[in-house]
Copies of this chain bind each other. A is one copy, B any other.
Amino acid sequence: MKDLEALVHELGKLPSIGEKTALRLALHILRQPEEYGKRIAAALNDTIGRVHFCDTCQNLATASLCSICNNPSRDASLVCVVEDIADLQAIERSNSFNGRYHVLHGALSPIDGIGPNELKIGELKKRLETQDPEEQVHEIILATNSNVNGDATAVYLSQIIRAYPIKLTKLASGIPVGGHLEFTDQQTLAQAINRRLEF
**Chain A interface residues (CB < 8 Å from chain B):** 1, 3-4, 6-7, 9-11, 13-17, 20-21, 23-31, 34, 36-53, 60-62, 84-86, 89, 105
Contacts and interface: CB of A to CB of B under 8 A. Distances in A.
Nearest to A26: B47
Contact of A52 (B17, B21, B30): B30
A6 B45 CA distance: 11
Nearest to A23: B86
Number of copies: 2
A7 B47 contact: yes
A interface, by DSSP: helix, strand, loop or mixed? helix
Given A1-B89, A34-B48, A14 B28 contact: yes
A35 to B, nearest CB: 9
A62 B15 CA distance: 29
Contact of A50 (B3, B13, B27): B3
